[in-house]
Amino acid sequence: MTEFWRTHSKNATLEEMMLDSHAQDLTVQELPEILSMLPSLENWRVLELGAGIGRYTQHLLTKAQHVTAVDFMESFVERNRQANGHHGNATFLQADVTKLDIPKNSVDFIFSNWLLMYLSDEELQRLSEKMLGWLRPGGFLFFRESCNHRSGDSMRKFNPTCYRTEAQYTQLITSAQAKDEEGAQTFGFDVVLKKQVQTYIKMKNNPNQICWLLEKAQRPSSGTNHFQTFQQFLDHQQYTRNGILCYEKMFGAGYVSTGGPSTTKEFVDLLNLKPGQKVLDVGCGIGGGDFYMAKKYGVEVLGLDLSENMVEIAIERAAKENLPSVQFEVSDATRRIFPESSFDVIYSRDTILHIDDKLALFKRFYSWLKPGGQLLISDYCCGEKPWTPQFEAYVKQRGYILHTPAEYGKIIEKAGFTEVHAEDRTSQFIQVIDAELQNAEKIKVDFIQEFSEGDYFAIVNGWRDKLQRSNSGDQRWGLFIAKRK
């Protein structure tokens, strides 16, 4: 590796660092895009791994309390020192990151750009465990990598890197675990966001430049249904790729939620969207509603979903739709950070039922909306207690946190929203499921040929159970519309 960089970076220029002859043009747009994904870093201790000649170091130094910039090439470290050594909050270190020794819990934020792809799986696993130890609880790791695609152009004659898929990176990093010094608590990485670098899509037609932001979080003694994280539960049990495609077959192309395109059109049209407005879709699924909003109203949409499977399919659909105004990212809305007043509309369909602290989330929504911005949510709700034992068991098994429609509306009001309209739409929910059951019968043969009889009855029986729960009064469906002052 040392010989490779001595050969291919004799002058330590930006073009040589990025292994791309268009590095200057790329950096103008790419660098602010990458920086926009980072937390504030104010008063934080930052560890930059693979700092190179300091392309990002100079910007991290203006935000953080202190930055330790590490690279294994002495010439790169010296170049970085010459460029940024005048900052009083910088330390420059020449070291191999796989052998680096950093005190435990001494770092708030780790930043890495195009480094982990040079490590073997075993090295990456060991480094992930080390980084967990270096970070304080609640600290963050940000990294950006090339996935299944060479990042440079024809100037690159030799490529020593280990290219991985996005899923492989996520699996290797999130599977790492580390205990605290007392051995009482176990920590791991939870995904806050995973997103494509849009600059490379626009300028190089390369969708394989991916960024991750992860948080060091305590692992429960037993995860959801034996999964370490909620995201793993979603992707490996509730929303497998096959399961998502089964839902889409039933609900309609691009949809995985109640009513498919019909309820989406009805609810979106209530917002009176205007061209150029920015919409955040929390729990976007595979993007049908986002494509509808962009096509009909000319709005820009960012779709968030915690399920990698959902976002992977949404991105596949987006490539066919050719709508650059619609973007998707794997993201945890309870941890994601956006500047205040970023969006005109926040839209969410049947997603927030999974979230315990809804008030905290709605307060985040309030801050993300512009003054006068609109909130529209449909969500599973419940009737007044006591519930039937069957409904109690269902809610526990799914891990749902449910409220009555009236209680739900009061939580939105408590978050600061005005003009809150909380509607019990259970009768509509029942009508929609009835219609979906009738449609399922019409496409039964075709569905079973494409998927299986077991998949068919899993969905149909699930709908019948929902009808029973809704008719009994236990399960409700709410529609909530509100505004920021």
In the chain, domain spans: 2-219, 231-483
- Report how far apart, in Å, the C-alpha atoms of 42 and of each of 61, 67, 332 are: 10, 12, 22
* Residues contacting residue 303 through CB under 8 Å, at least 6 positions apart: 281, 284, 285, 287, 290, 311, 314, 326, 327, 328, 329
Q: If you search the block for the tokens 């009835």, which residue do you land on? A: 434
Overall CATH class of domain 2-219: alpha beta
Q: If you search the block for the tokens 């708030």, which residue do you land on? A: 108
Mean pLDDT by 10 residues, the chain (485 residues): 73 80 90 95 97 95 97 92 95 96 96 93 95 97 84 42 83 91 87 96 93 94 61 80 95 94 97 98 98 98 96 93 94 95 98 96 98 98 96 93 98 98 98 96 97 96 96 97 97
Q: What is the widest separation between alpha-carbon atoms in the chain? A: 74
* Contact call for residues 61 and 88 (beta carbons, < 8 A): no
Helices (H), 105-148: 121-134
Helix (H, G, I), strand (E, B) or coil at 411: helix
Helix (H, G, I), strand (E, B) or coil at 481: strand
CA dist., res. 254 & res. 247, Å (int): 10
pLDDT in tens, 156-213: 444 455 678 998 999 999 999 998 877 788 999 999 999 999 999 999 999 999 999 9
327-363: string of b/e by CB count within 10 Å (b at 16+)?
Answer: bbbbbbbbbbebeeeebbbbbbbbbbbbbeebeebbe
Beta bridge partners of 46: 67, 109
**What local confidence, expressed as pLDDT, does residue 17 receive?**
77
Report the amino acid identity of residue 103. Answer: P
**What local confidence, expressed as pLDDT, does residue 339 receive?**
94
* Contact call for residues 283 and 349 (beta carbons, < 8 A): yes
How distant is the alpha carbon of residue 119 from its chain centre?
A: 24
Instruction: Give the dihedral sign, CA 240/243/244/245.
Output: positive
**What local confidence, expressed as pLDDT, does residue 227 receive?**
66
CA dist., res. 121 & res. 467, Å (int): 48
pLDDT in tens, 14-41: 887 787 888 899 999 999 999 999 999 9
Please check whether the two domains, 2-219 and 231-483, share a CATH topology.
Answer: yes
CA dist., res. 453 & res. 465, Å (int): 18
Is it true that domain 231-483 has CATH number 3.40.50.150? yes
Cis before residue 39, ω within 30 degrees of 0? Answer: no
- Report how far apart, in Å, the C-alpha atoms of 69 and of each of 55, 57, 170 are: 11, 7, 24
pTM for the whole structure = 0.90
Beta bridge partners of 300: 278
**What local confidence, expressed as pLDDT, does residue 157 receive?**
41
* Contact call for residues 294 and 327 (beta carbons, < 8 A): no
